[in-house]
Amino acid sequence: MIPINMLNLSNFKILNLQESENDYRFLVETKSPSPYYCPKCGTIANLYKHGKKNQLFFDLPMHAKRVGIYVKRQRNKCRECSGTFFENLPDMDVNRSVTNRLMDWIKEASLEKTFTSVAEEVGVDEKTVRNIFNDYVSELEAQTEFRTPKWLGLDEVHLLKNYRFVVTDVENKSVIDILRKRNKDVVISYLSKLKDIDKVELVAMDMWNPYKGAVNSVIPHAKIVIDNFHVVRLANEVLEKIRKANRQNVSAKEYWQLMRYRYVLLKRREDLNDFNDQIKLQVRIDMFSLLGQAYELKEQFFDI
Ligand SMILES: [Zn+2]
């Protein structure tokens, strides 16, 4: 005996239920009467039944089993225009073959979980989850109004083997957008679409040239601000080059001195609190005069 209300979908009558270890499969039909008019020509009350077809829809899992619902869907034919069409299905999204309530669940779940795991959990294929998610994102984007920030931040994040372009509102410490790529064309086209671009006063960025180029061409009035971290970092990069260049034509002992404890060179002198570290630094400065000079220049550059 199948409980009449087991699906909690009042527009459908359950005809049959099959159960396996992980799945329920219902067979249902609608309780509502067939449509009164032809959706193709608009003729009223001149239709007749023209066969049925089982169509599968997925629903929210029940009792830790995935739920599939076969709807025995009525096809109608119009005497006037000979057009055929299926009956309307309440509670179902006929494009995505899921119930409306499962659709809502998938939208939220796919914000947190992978498409594959959502698909696996409810029984639909991964592509359906992806499509529902993409529609949902477009829907959210259409509802959300982004205000162009006064202080715009252009940055990147390394995701799935690629640098992704990240746009931030520096003043309000929030991420506005993430794009797949960060090349100049992408940045230019993104900036060009921003509303009220005149309101941007400052653009914070690292030293990635395409950002500078794009900002200069789209918002030339904005001042570019580079975090000093990106500037002083260059001094350490040069110091490293000199350290590595020194490796040629040196004795084994000198080689060892160059390769070990590189951090004593890269740290600021005032941050080198350990006395042993201070000795290690002095040894290297005394042993390699060029490296010593480079170290002092690095320290002076940081002081600026
Ligand atoms: Zn018709």
Claim to verify: residue 7 and residue 34 sit in the same structural domain: yes
Among the candidates 226, 243, 266, a domain finishes at 226
Among the candidates 226, 255, 271, a domain finishes at 226
**Residue 89: which of 107, 110, 103, 75 has the closest Cα?**
75
List C-alpha distances in Å: 278 to 58, 226, 244, 269, 274: 68, 32, 21, 8, 7
> 32 CA distance to ligand 1 centroid (A)?
20
Claim to verify: residue 88 and residue 107 sit in the same structural domain: no
Provide the phi-psi class of 218: left if phi over 0, else alpha when psi is between -120 and 50, else beta.
alpha
Claim to verify: residue 81 and residue 51 sit in the same structural domain: yes
Claim to verify: residue 65 and residue 125 sit in the same structural domain: no
Claim to verify: residue 84 and residue 105 sit in the same structural domain: no
Name the residue range of residue 169's domain: 151-226
> 55 CA distance to ligand 1 centroid (A)?
23
Q: In the chain, helix, strand, coil percent, each to 5?
A: 40, 30, 30
With a threshold of 0.95, does the pTM exceed it? no
Claim to verify: residue 41 and residue 85 sit in the same structural domain: yes
Query: pLDDT at position 34, please?
Result: 65
Query: pLDDT at position 230, please?
Result: 83
Claim to verify: residue 66 and residue 155 sit in the same structural domain: no
* Beta-carbon neighbours within 5 Å of ion ligand 1: 38, 40-41, 43, 78, 80-81, 83
Q: What whole-number distance in Å separates Cα of residue 256 and Cα of residue 254?
A: 5
> 76 CA distance to ligand 1 centroid (A)?
10
Q: What whole-number distance in Å separates Cα of residue 240 and Cα of residue 294?
A: 10
> 84 CA distance to ligand 1 centroid (A)?
8
> 36 CA distance to ligand 1 centroid (A)?
11
> 88 CA distance to ligand 1 centroid (A)?
15
> 10 CA distance to ligand 1 centroid (A)?
29
> 49 CA distance to ligand 1 centroid (A)?
13
Claim to verify: residue 3 and residue 86 sit in the same structural domain: yes
> 94 CA distance to ligand 1 centroid (A)?
21
Q: Total domain count for the chain?
A: 4
In tens digits, the chain (304 residues) has pLDDT values of 788 889 999 999 999 999 999 999 999 999 977 667 888 898 887 889 999 999 999 999 999 999 999 999 999 999 999 999 999 899 999 999 999 999 999 999 999 999 999 999 999 999 999 999 999 999 988 888 778 999 999 999 998 889 999 999 999 999 989 999 999 999 999 999 988 888 999 999 988 899 999 999 999 999 999 988 888 888 999 999 988 888 877 888 888 888 888 889 899 999 988 999 999 999 888 888 888 999 999 999 999 8
> 85 CA distance to ligand 1 centroid (A)?
9
Among the candidates 163, 196, 226, a domain finishes at 226
> 268 CA distance to ligand 1 centroid (A)?
83
Query: pLDDT at position 304, please?
Result: 86
Query: pLDDT at position 246, please?
Result: 82
- Residue entry with tokens 């490293």: 240
> 46 CA distance to ligand 1 centroid (A)?
8
Query: pLDDT at position 283, please?
Result: 87
DSSP characters over 18-37: EE-SSEEEEEEEE-SPPPSB
List C-alpha distances in Å: 294 to 29, 224, 244, 266, 269: 82, 29, 12, 11, 13
Q: What whole-number distance in Å separates Cα of residue 89 and Cα of residue 115?
A: 26
